[in-house]
Structures are given as C-alpha cells and as structure tokens.
C-alpha cells in the first residue's frame, strides 16, 4: 500500500459536517437556509417525531441564498428549524450480478424490505452518455421473440425504440413478451408511474418466473413523489450501464417515459419554471435526450432499449411523443382499432418503422418485408370498396393479390402471449407468405 498516497487522501478529507435549517415548506418544495450544496447533492433532513429519523432529499435549485430541496419521500414531520445535513455528493446505488431476480425501488433497495446482497459496487445514478465517436455502429439484429417485430420491424443490437400507444392497448403485455423471449444476456425493467395494483400483475403474469430469473425490476409507483419517479428511470439506466460495461448485451424496458416527463414537469413547476408547450416546462425537453442517449452501444457492450410512450388521447403528435420519436432509432405504434379487432400485438405495421433494419437485414429479407407492407397498404386503401362489394375481381392485379393474402397476413401478424417464435422461423414464414416472386 502506498502510505504517502493514503496520507494525502486523509489530509483532503472534509471531516466537518455541514448543516442548515428548514425555513419553509410549500407543496413539494422545501426551502432551507444552508448548507452549502450543489445541484443534485443528496441531503438529510433530521426530523423529530416519536423517534428521530432522517428524510433523504435532493437539491433541485436555489432561491436567493437558500437551497431548494425535493424529498424522496413524503414531507410529514418536517417542521421549521429542522436540521439539514448535506452529503456533498449525488445519489449513488449499489449494483452487481447478485441483484438479478430482485425487484428494487428507485433508490436501489429491495422493494420487499429485505437486505441487499453483499459484494455490490456503488455507481452514480446520473452519468454522461457514451462519446458518439466511441459508439460502434449497430451491425447485427437481436431476437425479441415476437414474429411481427423480428420479421417486419427488425431490432438491432443496441437500438433504442419507442412503443407509442394510448392506455389499455397492450404495451405492458408486449414488454413482458419481449422480456421473456429475448436473446439478450439480462433484462433491466423500469416500471415508472404504474398503478400499485399493476406492479405485481406485471411481474407474475406478464413477466413470469422465467422472465424474472434473468431480470432486475425497478419500481416507482404513481403515488410516490415526482423525484422518486425520475430517480427510478435514472437508477434503471445506471444498472443497465453497469452490465453494459461488463461486456453484456442488455435489454432495457421502460414503462413509461411519459410519466418520467410528467414527474419532471411537476418538479419544474414547483421550483418556478414557466410552463411552455401543453404545460411542460423547458427542463423536460432537456432531460429526455440526456436520459435516452445513455442507452445504445458502447465499446464494451450494448443496451437495446424499448421505451413506452403513453400518448394523450391517441394523439401521436403531442409534445412528449413528438420529442421522443425524434430522439429514438425507431417507433412502433399500437393501434386501438386493431386491438378492438382482436389483433395482438396491436402494432400498426404501416405506421411503424425501425430505422436500422436496412443495415442489419439481407436484401432478400428487406424485399419480402416491403412486399408484405405493399399488400397490406393496398388492401387498407381499398377496404371500403371491398366491404361494400363495389370492387370487381380482376380490375387490379395488386388489389386481387392483396385480397388473397390478407387473411394470411392477419394470421402472420397475430401471436399468442405465451408463444415464442425465433427470428429465423419468423423470417422463413415471411418468405413463405409473400412467395418466391417477392424474393
């Protein structure tokens, strides 16, 4: 051991604890006179109730010479003059392979109240995205086990995709299928702003024991303070980054990025930011790229990410949907009308796109996928004429082919939630469906 280096570190250690005092609490905001802190630093607020305890909070802004804190929990028992102690560093969580199979809260602690396993390493929740010049290009597909996606909207290893849908169209069920069937080394699943009832349902029904064995689930329910919901997204991303740095191919699933944006809006409004587009504050549109750009490829490994976007009133052009679509490498649109007709997954192939599919798929595969899209588009354009009997067979070869193929296309697009289809089998079925002429 280098004794000189150790002595040098001892000399620079700040052995003093810095304190301030709570001046006032307004809604979600706690204003404190001191201590000296930076944005993002974690502080402890000492409260005296039946027994003394410490409430963890984070510095989110300043007002004059006072600091503005947001608590990770509720603000009950905080009173004027409560001591505020700074840690002088941002939030860190403990990560390691022994976390696999666990369900955690936004601060990285087991949700069932048990103790964390030993041998974990501390990492900060907020980190910079990889250097763009050090990101390897996406060059190979990754299997997700959903025939429609693997064959028509192929996902690359390290790609980031948005799943856009209104409420109740099947986003969580689709994420569960991907988590169970994917060929990735490990799943990191973030449930942000979910109803408390849905958490256990997702883990037991959609994910299942088989999926949980190779997953780490981070949960921040809708009743928790906005800071906890945002930290849930950052914690999940930091865990995924840790396993990527170990050379793994990580599958990250976040449901939903819209609720992360809503939580950031709550914080922004509380600290005095002006509401802009549809009430969202400017910080929302700066936070989203920083969060979403952290996933993807790096020189060590990859994070393939699926982010669900809850579109308000099925409006695909609302501000968050529009912003996220511009950041990610593809988008899948779930259509309520298709879901009502019994098509599952309810992905509208004609409105969805994978921006890296042409880089990772063969020319034969691309031609077959384009042929199916053309037939489906032709049928939908002529559907009204066909249904009312106004179309006469033989008037158009394209429409005749579309009418012939349509029942087979519908069967191809449908898949049972417990059914797994390999990427090779899905592509082979696509070739068979469109026929040799499209190849």
pLDDT digits (tens, 9 = 90+) for 227-245: 999 999 999 999 999 999 9
Which whole-number Å values give the CA distances from 116 to 49, 92, 127, 188, 216, in the listed order?
28, 14, 23, 17, 13
Mean pLDDT of 363-385: 90
Which whole-number Å values give the CA distances from 44 to 56, 81, 175, 218, in the listed order?
5, 13, 37, 23
Mean pLDDT of 427-432: 94
Better-predicted residue by pLDDT, 196 or 245: 245
Mean pLDDT of 71-84: 84
Mean pLDDT of 291-303: 93
Question: Lowest-pLDDT range, 172-176, 189-193, 316-320?
Answer: 316-320
Question: Lowest-pLDDT range, 6-15, 225-234, 290-299, 405-414?
Answer: 6-15
Q: Is the pLDDT of residue 437 over 50?
A: no
Residue 381, helix vs strand vs coil: helix
Question: DSSP per residue over 249-293, as a string?
Answer: EEEEEEE-HHHHHHHHHHHHHHTTPPP-GGG--HHHHHHHHHHHT
pLDDT at 36: 86
Q: Is the pLDDT of residue 439 over 60?
A: no
Residue with tokens 């004609």: 350
pLDDT at 436: 45
For residue 126, give every residue at least 6 positions away whose Cβ sits within 8 Å of its Cβ, in sequence order, or none. 40, 90, 91, 234, 238
Q: Is the pLDDT of residue 357 over 80?
A: yes
pLDDT at 1: 52
């Amino acid at each position: 051991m280098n004794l000189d280096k150790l002595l040098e570190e001892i000399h620079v250690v700040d052995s003093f604890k810095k304190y301030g005092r709570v001046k006032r609490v307004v809604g979600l905001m706690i204003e404190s006179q001191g201590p000296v802190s930076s944005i993002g630093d974690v502080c402890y607020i000492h409260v005296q109730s039946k027994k003394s305890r410490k409430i963890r909070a984070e510095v989110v802004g300043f007002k004059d010479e006072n600091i503005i804190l947001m608590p990770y929990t509720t603000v009950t028992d905080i009173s004027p003059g409560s001591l505020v102690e700074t840690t002088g560093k941002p939030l860190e969580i403990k990560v390691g392979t022994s976390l696999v199979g666990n369900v955690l809260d936004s601060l990285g602690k087991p949700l069932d109240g048990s103790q964390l396993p030993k041998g974990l390493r501390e990492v900060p929740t907020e980190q910079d995205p990889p250097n763009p010049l050090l990101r390897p290009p996406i060059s190979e597909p990754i299997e997700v086990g959903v025939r429609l996606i693997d064959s028509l909207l192929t996902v690359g290893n390290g790609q980031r995709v948005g799943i856009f849908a209104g409420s109740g169209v099947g986003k969580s069920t689709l994420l569960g299928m991907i988590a169970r069937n994917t060929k990735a080394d490990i799943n990191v699943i973030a449930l942000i702003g979910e109803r408390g009832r849905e958490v256990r349902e997702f883990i037991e029904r959609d994910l299942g024991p088989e999926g949980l064995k190779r997953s780490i689930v981070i949960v921040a329910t809708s009743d928790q303070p906005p800071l906890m919901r945002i930290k849930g997204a950052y914690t999940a991303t930091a865990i995924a980054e840790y396993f990527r740095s170990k050379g793994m191919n990580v599958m990250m699933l976040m449901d939903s990025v819209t609720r992360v944006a809503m939580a950031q809006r709550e914080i922004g409004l509380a600290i005095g930011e002006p509401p802009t587009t549809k009430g969202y504050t400017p910080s929302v549109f700066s936070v989203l790229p920083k969060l979403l750009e952290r996933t993807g490829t790096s020189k060590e490994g990859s994070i393939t990410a699926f982010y669900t976007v809850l579109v308000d009133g099925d409006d695909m052009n609302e501000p968050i949907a529009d912003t996220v679509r511009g950041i990610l490498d593809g988008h899948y649109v779930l259509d309520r009308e298709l879901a009502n007709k019994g098509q599952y997954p309810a992905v509208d192939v004609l409105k969805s796109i994978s921006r890296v599919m042409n880089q990772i798929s063969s020319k034969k595969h691309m031609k077959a996928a384009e042929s199916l899209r053309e037939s489906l588009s032709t049928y939908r354009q002529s559907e009204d004429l066909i249904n009312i009997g106004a179309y006469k067979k033989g008037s158009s070869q394209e429409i005749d082919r579309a009418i012939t193929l349509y029942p087979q296309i519908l069967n191809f697009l449908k898949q049972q939630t417990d059914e797994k289809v390999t990427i090779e089998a899905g592509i082979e079925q696509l070739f068979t469906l469109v026929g040799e002429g499209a190849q």
